[in-house]
Copies of this chain bind each other. A is one copy, B any other.
Amino acid sequence: MSEPAHIRATYNDIHNIIKASSAKIAEFKPNMLIAIGGGGFFPARVLRTFLKDPSTKRNIPIQAIGLSLYESLPGTTAEQLGNEVIRTQWLGPEPGKTLLGRRALIVDEVDDSRKTLQYGNRDKLIARYALSELQKDVENELQAVPESERDALRTKFAIFVVHNKLKPKLGELPPDIPYFAGAEVEDLWLDYPWEAMDIEEHDRLAAEDKAKST
């Protein structure tokens, strides 16, 4: 009998993946992090340790957002899905104003496929759906701005995920969106440490996996 294929990431693994990614991410010069809850909370907080606002040299503010998708039937198009997003939490207090003129990095733990609930009842949603929702806010807010100023104020977005699963994605990213993946991984079940009921056992299994693969 073969064991179910898991990838187990320890806290320190993730911490170090983020650290190693930070130099590359700094080239985008983000001055705002948008953490997708709940999986993006921890990565965003760690990333902030390794980035400073390029102009002020201060901490980069983190905003959190929450999205949920209605369960959808097989065959639902990406466009239909886009209409089924519920914002459980959003930028505040004024989303558009929070975004205009910013360089915003969207942060999540994994870029998997397209759906919430794919891991049972976890509230997982991929960053690319967050991106399109945020872009809607920016475009709405830009309507109140003279046309000649819009390009300068249009938010620059980028995406960072700790793990990118090597599998086909529903919905292509626009080519002008920088995309940073801390690690590219096979399409296996990812066990995150914050979900471990027994963190010592989790670490022990992770160490075993590492020993096997070397």
Contacts and interface: CB of A to CB of B under 8 A. Distances in A.
A183 interface: no
Contact of A195 (B39, B49, B200): B49
Chain A interface residue number, banded: 35 or more
Nearest to A12: B199
Chain A interface helix/strand/loop/mixed = mixed
A62 B37 contact: yes
B58 A194 contact: no
Contacts of A115: none
A40 to B, nearest CB: 9
Given A87-B92, A89-B91, A194-B49, A38 B12 contact: no
26 contacts: A11-B12, A12-B199, A12-B203, A19-B197, A19-B199, A35-B64, A37-B62, A37-B64, A38-B44, A41-B41, A41-B44, A42-B45, A45-B194, A49-B195, A49-B196, A50-B197, A59-B121, A59-B123, A61-B88, A63-B64, A64-B64, A64-B89, A87-B92, A89-B92, A89-B93, A92-B92
